[in-house]
Amino acid sequence: MVSNDTTEADSENRIGSIPATRRGWLQATTAGVFGVLFGLSGQGTVAASGGEREGPPDRATPSTRLGVETLLEEQADLLEGERLGLITNPSGTDSSLRSTIDLLYEREAFDLRTLFSPEHGIRGNAEAGEGVGDTVDEKTGLPVLSLYGDTRQLQPEMIEDLDAVLFDVQDVGVRFYTYIYDIARSLETIGQTDKRFVVLDRPNPIAPLSVTGSRIDDENASGIGDYRLPIIHRMTVGELARYFNSEFEMGAALDVVPMQGWHREMWYDETGLPFVPPSPNMPTTETATIYPGMVYFEATTLSEGRGSTKPFEYVGAPWIDSQAWAASLNALDLPGVRFRPVWFEPTFDDHAGENVGSVQTHVIDRSRLQPVRVGLTMLISAFLTYPETEWISWGDTYAIDSRANGSELRETIDAADSDTDPVALADRIRSDWEADTDEFQAATEPYLLYNDRWRGRRKDI
């Protein structure tokens, strides 16, 4: 074990005592290992002679320019001299990881006055569902007003002294993710005023996945599903703002500052942009890719991996036989994924402190992945195989119904017998979704900003 108190000089002295030939190998190997671990491959070099490290070269220019960068570099006059508010969190950065808060605050042309905090807080340190209070930003001294505390919506009195409110938060492309509803509710408020709403656009990290799922009905709408969205929508936050504002007649003065060099067939890791986790349980793009199907498990007595290092990739419970469940799921031969038996002990949330038998879902071919089909199949399998598994409910209210657009999914699974084929049942449930996905794509076509539109996509209902 190496003490945390080990100094840089101590490390240099230890390396210096190693023969030169091995020292160069050690430095090169160390750089390579850390590059693999932290995604820094290709960003630092070791000289061929003498074993001396060179400083890391500049990051390669990303192929995608973010909306905040378009604003600063090309459209600053859009907001020059205006009194501004900003809805953001740690994911609001430019391609060099500079905070949008700091970029706007330090720019003389802008008058940033107020920050607004969505779920998880302005600095991203609050867990899912945890209330967020008003505070003051330590770095800028600006007031931070909560949109996830006593009120869940921008209020007219919050913006009396502002001319425009900006939005810069990374979404993950799924209707369950709450930040997009901050956009919709803000548009509702601003539509009643003479203010403007400005969205700084960002990539949808799972945009190559097909539009999937039934459109949420008004009677099943909630804070994790509303505005007639399917499960996977493929739209950016800017496009969603245009859809909300027009289709639901919010009447807000809306500007979207677009990205450049992005199209809907790009996975996030193809943009060249660093990924900043937009919430505590969305640490990687791999998490975002599998998330649309794993969110069902939030509504059951199984753990969806919160409190572990792999939220939404791990799913299990103390009564699950990891080896047997992984083997049975792999035998179903679902395209694009494989399952590995794992055990973990959640540090919080469901089954905290218990030894949880589970499987990890590994995406091995994302071009063939259908995450909602995978999640549905796993859900059905868990209920059929392990009778201890239950739905979370409060009286007659079931958590799954708000995620599944009604009670049909729950009732269908409850009526299945142990001989049911989980894949066949999942496909039967999905068979009613095609009309909704076609309807959604037709309804949203006018609001798309990028040049690929919907045409040419494979069906994945």
Each residue's pLDDT tens digit in the chain (461 positions)?
333 333 333 333 333 333 333 333 333 333 333 343 333 333 333 333 334 334 433 456 789 999 999 999 999 999 999 999 999 999 999 999 999 999 999 999 999 999 999 887 786 565 665 667 899 998 999 999 999 888 889 999 999 999 999 999 999 999 999 999 999 999 999 999 999 999 999 999 999 999 999 999 999 999 999 999 999 999 999 999 999 999 999 999 999 999 999 999 999 999 999 999 999 899 999 999 999 999 999 999 999 999 999 999 999 999 999 999 999 999 999 999 999 999 999 999 999 999 999 999 999 999 999 999 999 999 999 999 999 999 999 999 999 999 999 999 999 999 999 999 999 999 999 998 999 999 999 999 999 999 765 544 445 55
Which residues are CB-neighbours of 347 under 8 A, at least 6 positions away? 307, 308, 353
- In terms of Cβ atoms closer than 10 Å to its own Cβ (0-12, 13-18, 19+), residue 81 is exposed
Say if residues 89 and 122 touch (Cβ distance below 8 Å): yes
- Strand 135-136, strand 111-117: pairing: unpaired
The crossing angle, in degrees rounded to 10, of helices 371-385 and 408-415 is 40
Q: What gap in Å lies between CA 368 and CA 208, rounded to an integer? A: 11
Say if residues 112 and 79 touch (Cβ distance below 8 Å): no
Measured CA to CA in angstroms, residue 123 lies from 276, 282, 287 at distances of 12, 14, 20
DSSP for 180-219 reads: HHHHHHHHHHHTTSS-EEEEE----TTTTSPPBSPPPPGG
The pLDDT, as a whole number, for residue 191 is 98
Q: What gap in Å lies between CA 420 and CA 409, rounded to an integer? A: 15
Say if residues 86 and 169 touch (Cβ distance below 8 Å): no
Terminal C-alpha separation, the chain: 51
Computed over its alpha carbons, how large is the radius of gyration of the chain? 24
Tokens of 80: 């020059």
Q: What gap in Å lies between CA 246 and CA 227, rounded to an integer? A: 12
The pLDDT, as a whole number, for residue 78 is 95
- For 331-416, where are the E strands, in sequence order? 337-344, 356-363, 393-394, 397-398
The pLDDT, as a whole number, for residue 138 is 87
3-state helix, strand, coil in the chain (%, to 5): 35, 15, 50
Q: Computed from CA positions of residues 352, 354, 356, 361, in that sequence, does the dihedral angle turn out positive or negative? A: positive
* Residues belonging to the chain: 461
CA atoms within 13 A on the CB side of 245: 25
Of 199, 176, 172, 204, residue with least CA distance to 186: 199
Q: Per residue, what are the HEC states of 263-321? A: CCCCCHHHCCCCCCCCCCCCCCHHHHHHHHHHHHHHHECCECCCCCCCECCEEEECCCC
Of 213, 225, 158, residue with least CA distance to 186: 158
Task: DSSP letter for 368, please.
Answer: S
Q: Is 65 helix (H, G, I), strand (E, B) or coil?
A: strand
Placement of tokens 């973990």 in the chain: 344
The pLDDT, as a whole number, for residue 454 is 52
Of 274, 91, 103, 71, residue with least CA distance to 179: 91
* Side chain identity, residue 409: L
Give the distance, in angstroms, between the CA of residue 90 and the centroid of all CA atoms in the same chain: 12
Give the pTM. Answer: 0.84
Tokens of 454: 């919907």
Tokens of 446: 């006018």
The pLDDT, as a whole number, for residue 358 is 98
Domains of the chain: 67-270 (3.40.50.12170), 285-430 (3.90.1150.140)
**Element of type H or E holding 22:** helix 20-38
* Side chain identity, residue 209: L
The pLDDT, as a whole number, for residue 119 is 82
